[in-house]
């Protein structure tokens, strides 16, 4: 099938390519009559502009890049959802890349997106990301950039986050309020900011309520997943028989713990209370249903793209853009595990 080009239309109509181009884009200096003629012909031939040529001329790809640690993850899936929806509204396509929590891969992905000349990049950092030189490069090249959820405080760019410390504080306080005296924490890896912040919120809540912080009650869940939760729970049962509450960094880890307790006849919440984090929809499906903190993934996606869009718009007009940090609300959700 032969491609339809401006030239084609111009020849059919016996006018110049210039005029055809202008007519299709509704330039004010083309007569109404010509416009109608051109548009009609374009429709008839099913003309579609060749984006490759348009990109080259306009220096824009109308495509944005998204780098996340993992696609197969309820929270990120929701974020993707929000981003794609907004992007489509504005006529942007989203290229999604997965870092698999690897620093090396993440760097490669950034390079890939840059070489594809995306108009902007959104990123949530891998757990293993140790420095941000690759992001500094994005800034140098003046490619708009927004970080979300897993951010680096060192990077000067727009950010969409939740207040992890506060949310963790509230979650821990909820355990205390429901009578827990010995509260363990399943935390994430040591590097990620949100893992640190949730840990600090947990610690602060204990201290503010006269409970001595005991580091032996903190277990590291490297991948914050179901398996990790199972393992941490098993170890906890070996180490401590007096723990009556757990604040887990993710619902997944919490659910892992619950499954261990269910199996061993340990009653939740009578013997031990459990708090998750994320409000994955499965949390309400398990038995007992899981108390957790609602983390607004979809909203985060929406806000992330919107902020990126603003920056891209400013960039296009060569205007200055002042990076912004937006903090989204979280919400404690009480169910049957506490």
Nearest-10 Cα torsion for 111, 117, 123, 127? -10
Number of residues that bind a second copy (CB under 8 A): 46
Query: Shortest CA distance to 195 belongs to which of 176, 171, 235, 223?
Result: 223
Question: What is the DSSP code (8-state) at residue 27?
Answer: -
- Is position 286 an interface residue for a second copy (rule: CB under 8 A)? yes
Between the alpha carbon of residue 283 and those of residues 46, 75, 275, 297, the distances in Å are 50, 13, 10, 15
Calpha distance 186→41 (Å, rounded): 65
Near a second copy in 140-159, by CB under 8 A: 140-142
Pairing of strands 331-333, 292-294: antiparallel
73 binds, among a second copy, DNA, none (CB under 5 to 8 A by kind): a second copy
Encoding tokens for residue 172?
Answer: 């821990």
Give the residue, chosen from 6, 64, 257, 307, that forms a contact with DNA under the rule CB under 7 A.
Answer: 6
In the numeric block, the tokens 């909203």 are attached to 299
- Is position 22 an interface residue for DNA (rule: CB under 7 A)? yes
71 binds, among DNA, a second copy, none (CB under 5 to 8 A by kind): a second copy
- Is position 265 an interface residue for a second copy (rule: CB under 8 A)? no
* Residue with smaller CB distance to a second copy, 28 or 91: 91
Provide the angle, in degrees to the nearest 10, between the axes of the packed helices 164-177 and 193-208.
40
- Is position 56 an interface residue for DNA (rule: CB under 7 A)? yes
* Residue with smaller CB distance to a second copy, 210 or 265: 265
Burial of 211 (0-12, 13-18, 19+ CB in 10 A): middle
Query: Shortest CA distance to 112 belongs to which of 143, 79, 158?
Result: 143
- Is position 18 an interface residue for DNA (rule: CB under 7 A)? yes
DSSP 187-224: E--SS-HHHHHHHHHHHHHHHHTT----GGGEEE-TT-
- Is position 26 an interface residue for DNA (rule: CB under 7 A)? no
Query: Shortest CA distance to 311 belongs to which of 301, 323, 300?
Result: 323
Near a second copy in 38-97, by CB under 8 A: 48-53, 55-56, 59, 61, 63, 71-74, 77-78, 80-81, 84, 88, 93-97
E strands, the chain, are 63-68, 93-98, 120-123, 145-148, 158-162, 183-187, 218-220, 245-248, 273-275, 292-294, 325-328, 331-333
Give the residue, chosen from 11, 36, 44, 54, that forms a contact with DNA under the rule CB under 7 A.
Answer: 54
- Is position 284 an interface residue for DNA (rule: CB under 7 A)? no
Give the residue, chosen from 162, 217, 255, 272, that forms a contact with a second copy under the rule CB under 8 A.
Answer: 255
CB of residue 175 to a second copy, shortest distance in Å: 22
Give the residue, chosen from 12, 39, 49, 220, that forms a contact with DNA under the rule CB under 7 A.
Answer: 49
- Stretch binding DNA (CB under 7 A), from 42-50, 117-125, 188-196, 225-233: 42-50
Write out the H or E segment, with its range, that includes residue 32: helix 32-45
- Stretch binding a second copy (CB under 8 A), from 34-42, 183-191, 203-211, 281-289: 281-289
* Residue with smaller CB distance to DNA, 5 or 102: 5
Encoding tokens for residue 263?
Answer: 């199996």
Site for a second copy, rule CB under 8 A: 1, 48-53, 55-56, 59, 61, 63, 71-74, 77-78, 80-81, 84, 88, 93-98, 112, 114-117, 140-142, 226, 255-256, 259, 262, 281-282, 285-287
Site for DNA, rule CB under 7 A: 3, 5-7, 15-19, 21-22, 24-25, 28-34, 47, 49-50, 52-54, 56-58
């Amino acid at each position: 099938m032969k491609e339809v080009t401006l030239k084609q239309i111009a020849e059919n109509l016996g006018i110049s390519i210039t005029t055809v181009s202008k007519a299709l884009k509704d330039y004010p200096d083309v007569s109404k009559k010509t416009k109608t003629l051109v548009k009609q012909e374009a429709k008839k031939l099913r003309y579609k502009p060749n984006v490759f040529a348009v990109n080259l001329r306009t220096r824009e790809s109308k495509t944005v890049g998204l780098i996340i640690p993992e696609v197969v993850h309820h929270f990120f899936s929701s974020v993707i959802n929000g981003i794609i929806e907004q992007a489509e509204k504005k006529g942007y396509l989203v290229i999604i890349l997965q870092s698999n929590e690897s620093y090396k891969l993440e760097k490669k992905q950034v390079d890939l997106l840059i070489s594809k000349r995306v108009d902007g990049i959104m990123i949530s950092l891998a757990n293993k990301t140790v420095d941000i030189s690759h992001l500094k490069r994005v800034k140098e090249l003046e490619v708009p950039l927004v970080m979300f959820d897993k951010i680096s405080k060192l990077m000067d760019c727009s950010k969409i986050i939740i207040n992890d410390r506060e949310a963790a504080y509230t979650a821990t306080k909820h355990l205390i309020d429901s009578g827990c005296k010995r509260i363990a924490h399943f935390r994430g890896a040591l590097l990620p900011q949100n893992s640190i912040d949730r840990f600090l919120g947990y610690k602060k809540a204990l201290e503010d309520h006269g409970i001595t912080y005991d580091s032996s009650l903190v277990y590291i869940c490297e991948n914050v997943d179901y398996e990790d939760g199972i393992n941490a729970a098993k170890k906890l049962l070996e180490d401590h028989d007096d723990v009556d509450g757990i604040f887990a960094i993710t619902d997944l880890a919490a659910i892992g713990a619950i499954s261990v307790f269910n199996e061993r006849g340990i009653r939740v919440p009578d013997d031990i209370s459990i708090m998750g984090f994320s409000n994955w929809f499965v949390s309400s499906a398990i038995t007992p249903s899981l108390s957790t903190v609602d983390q607004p993934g979809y909203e985060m996606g929406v806000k992330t793209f919107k902020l990126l869009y603003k920056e891209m718009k400013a960039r296009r007009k060569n205007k200055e853009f002042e990076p912004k940090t937006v903090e989204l609300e979280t919400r404690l959700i009480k169910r049957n595990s506490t």
